[in-house]
Amino acid sequence: MKKKITLFLTALLLITLLCPGVSASPYYNYSFTYFGNEAAEPQAYNVSQTITGISAGTTHFKTPSDIHVTKVNGVNRVYISDTGNNRIVVLDENFKFVTEVTGYHTIHTKQEIYDNWPEMYREMFPEEFSSEPTETPEPTPTPEPTPTPEPELGEEDPDATEAPEPTPEPTPAYIVPNPDEEYSSFYTLKQPEGVFVEENGNMYVCDTQNGAIVYFEYKVDADGNESYENFRDGIYDDPRVSMVDKDYVYRPSKVIKDNSGRLYVLANNNTNGILQMTDKGEFVTYIGANKTTATAIQILTRTLFPWLTSQTTAVIPTEYNNITIDAEGFIYATIGTVSRSDLYSHMTSKGAEKGAPIRRLNAMGTDILRRLGAKAPVGDILALTSYSYLMPDTSKFMDIAVDSNNSYAVIDTNRGRAFTYDYDGNLLYVFGGIGKVEGTFAEQGAVSIAIVDDEDYLILDSKQNLINYYKPTSQGRVIREAVTAKNARDYDLATEKWEEYLMFSSNSEVAYNNIGKLYLKKGRELYLKKETRDEGARYFDKAMKAFKLAQERSNYSEAYVEYRRYNTEKSLPYVLTGAIILIVAGIVVTNIRKYKRAKAARLAELAGRRHKK
């Protein structure tokens, strides 16, 4: 008995060591079938390292809210908005502390301070408003007025006139002494929520509670020490958004910059869309505003009972909660507050007008995100197809990261998971989860994601005050290589990589769907040339088989149409030849019959004449 147990444990150990897909990960990868059911997939990403403030060589992080990665002079730098500590932390490529930014200097003239911050001016220069007390002279007695007799009842007083209203004396304008004199003051960052860094190292920081965006210049001294110094004109406060709503308090939370130098800003409690600004912080316009649609009940109530309009719930557009920009200058934005009904409608219709939690905006603010998968990218599909009491929370996206293949990963803070989609909106893999072990997140903790070296991911947990660093497994790397090959139009290599992935997951609908699409593309390319038309048809047939295994009906129909066209075109000459032969044969037979009938009629006529004679 002991020998059998020993042999069993030895075999189990060998299987564990030899199978690359076996891991002790606290989360799992999955995809969704055509019918919306969950299907297990090999693990695509595993956590490689957990980064805290202490492990990085600084103090503990406190409710960090944003993370950004940029190559500066060819070397990765990681920037963290450590919101609770009122600072921006900079880490090197090994996730070790480099420097931190805690505030910035401002330089203003006395006249600017007086015009914009009069109370501050009084605190800075109280001596200008102090005056020596002087003796107040005694008032000169004035003679009492002679009483006049009151008019009798019903009689008008001829001397009575209305007393003129006293005109207020004009307040003299205060003249600021030495108005051009400059003063410098230091502002401490107050709960910064966003950071964006250019390739030259210069940095934009959303100083949220101070209501400003600050532009810092990257500097390196002779000893190699890095630091950041704000530009004199690089403090952008309220960009006149108060013109729309005078009661609105400007609180910028996220900022990005495109290749043309334009800034795009998200501000808290702003439902007008994304603020577009010049590189000088001047307001230009709003783009990408979310459209609203009133329900039938709201329309009926406002039509029949207009006096109740002020008491009904207003239809307010949802606001974006995060933005990023890809290499082509397109803006990716996420929306976290989408209702279950709008999400379900968007998932099935794949329309961009309403309910889309992910958007790809061009310069005009038009959503051009491709949604060519079986379902639109909405995160967890089961949350929308299951009963609400079984899975009450839909996916809530908080941030998005885009790689060079235009594949994008979005963070679902309700599940602590990253859903990764390709350029066409097909789900590739999922990683992460809720928990307290390495590689998982606190509930509502995962708030920001950044991509490293176009392959790895850093995900920020604002509740546990840490960063999880994920690297792809062998299976995940095969998927990435397949997507890269497809974008490079190397369809043979892409097909080879997806077929390699089937060795890890033989029933993967994701793999079969992608293989079918590659077969279809290859078949269409071959079909254009007459000499390779037969080979193209064989790819159509293979695509149909792959789509059938993937339960992809719409794509199967496309492949079937192409294959049917080939069969029709190939058999058409034979059909036409046969038809011509049949027609000619019919004509010949008809003429023969006519000739025989005519001959028989003549013979009968001759026989009749002979009989009469």
- 3-state SS of 247-297 is CCCCCEEEEEECCCCCEEEEECCCCCCEEEECCCCCEEEEECCCCCCCCHH
Tokens of 332: 């990716």
Higher pLDDT, 93 or 314: 93
Query: Which of 72-81, 384-393, 450-459, 488-497 is least confident?
Result: 384-393
pLDDT in tens, 225-267: 999 998 767 788 777 655 556 677 889 999 999 999 999 999 9
Strands 97-101 and 87-91 turn out to be antiparallel
- The encoded tokens of residue 6 equal 């020993």
pLDDT at residue 297 tops 70: no
Residues of the chain with pLDDT > 90, as a percent, come to 44
366-375, 452-461, 462-471: least confidently modelled range: 366-375
> What 8-state DSSP symbol labels residue 146?
P
Considering only residues 52 and 305, tell me which one the structure prediction assigns the higher pLDDT. 52
Lowest mean pLDDT among 37-46, 103-112, 121-130, 547-556: 121-130
Q: Which two tokens stand for residue 208?
A: 């949220």
- The answer to whether 88 and 97 have CB atoms below 8 angstroms apart is no
Token pair listed for 601: 């009629």
Give the pLDDT of residue 314.
47
Only one residue has tokens 């690297």, namely 471
Quick check: 497 and 474 in contact, CB under 8 A? no
Q: Quick check: 332 pLDDT over 50?
A: yes
Alpha-carbon torsion (482, 483, 485, 490), positive or negative: positive
Residue, of 166 and 212, whose pLDDT is higher:
212
CA dist 174 and 167 (Å) reads: 21
Amino acid at 227: S
What sign does the CA torsion over 494, 500, 504, 509 have? Answer: positive
The pLDDT score that the predictor gives to residue 53 is 96
Average pLDDT rounded to a whole number, residues 126-138: 59
Q: Which residue has the higher pLDDT, 304 or 22?
A: 304
Q: Which two tokens stand for residue 11?
A: 């075999």
Is the overall model pTM greater than 0.85, yes or no?
Answer: no
Q: Is 124 left (phi over 0), alpha (psi -120 to 50) or beta?
A: alpha
CA atoms within 13 A on the CB side of 1: 0
Beta-bridged to residue 286, according to DSSP, are 275
Which phi and psi angles does 318 have, rounded to 5°? -75, 155
Residue 514's alpha-carbon distances to 161, 350, 535, 544, in angstroms, are 96, 19, 20, 12
- Residues 501, 502, 504, 507, CA torsion sign: positive
Structure tokens at 575: 């059909």
**Selected residue with higher pLDDT from 257 and 295:** 257
Task: For residue 230, list its beta bridge partners.
Answer: 216
Residue 315 has pLDDT above 50, yes or no: no
What's the rounded Cα separation, in Å, for the pair 348 and 377? 10
DSSP 395-411: P-EEEEEE-TTS-EEEE
* Phi, psi dihedrals of residue 399, rounded to the nearest 5°: -160, 165
From CA 266, how far away is CA 253, in angstroms rounded? 6
Cα angle value 299/305/307 (rounded, 5°): 115
**Which of the pair, 282 or 215, is modelled with greater confidence?**
215
Q: Are 91 and 78 in contact (CB under 8 A)?
A: yes
| Cβ count near 110 (within 10 Å) | 19
Contacts of 224 (CB under 8 A, 6+ apart): none
Give the pLDDT score at 612: 67
Residue 516's pLDDT is what? 93
pLDDT at 400: 97
The residue assigned the tokens 């709960």 is: 191
Strands 87-91 and 75-82: antiparallel
Does the pLDDT value for residue 152 go beyond 70? no
Give SS3 for 571.
Answer: helix
Structure-token pair, residue 114 = 């007086």
Name, in order, each residue with C-beta under 8 angstroms of 288's C-beta and a sequence gap of 6 or more: 273, 274, 320, 331, 333, 359, 361, 365, 367
Rounded CA separation 459/451 (Å): 9
pLDDT(132) > 50: no
> Which stretch of DSSP H or E encloses residue 95?
none
Average pLDDT, stretch 41-59?
95
Please check whether residue 500 is in contact with residue 474, taking contact to mean a CB–CB distance below 8 angstroms: no
Joined tokens for residue 314: 């207003």
Judge whether 418 and 432 are in contact, CB under 8 Å: yes
Are 205 and 88 in contact, with CB atoms under 8 Å apart?
Answer: yes
Half-sphere exposure of 265 (CA within 13 A, CB side): 36
| Residue 359 backbone phi and psi in degrees, to 5 | -140, 145
Distant-in-sequence, close-in-space partners of 602: CB < 8 Å, separation ≥ 6? none
Q: Which two tokens stand for residue 346?
A: 């968007």
Q: Chain-wide mean pLDDT for the chain?
A: 83
Cβ-contact 84, 76 below 8 angstroms: no
CB environment 510-536: b (16+ within 10 A), e (fewer): bbbbbbbbbbbbbbbebbeeeeeeeeb
CA–CA gap between residue 573 and residue 271 (Å, rounded)? 63
**Dihedral pair phi/psi, residue 225, rounded to 5°:** -75, 135
Strands across the sheet containing 331-334: 322-325, 331-334, 358-361
Give the lowest-confidence range in 160-174, 208-222, 305-319, 490-504: 305-319
Which two tokens mark 465? 């005050």
Q: Assess whether pLDDT exceeds 70 at residue 562.
A: yes
Average pLDDT over residues 76-103: 96
Angle among Cα 495, 499, 500 to the nearest 5 degrees reads 115
Q: Is the pLDDT of residue 330 over 90?
A: yes
pLDDT tens digits along 508-561: 888 999 999 999 999 998 888 888 888 989 999 999 999 999 888 888 998 898
Residue bearing the bigger pLDDT, 161 or 598: 598
Type of residue numbered 265? V
Determine the pLDDT at residue 16: 43
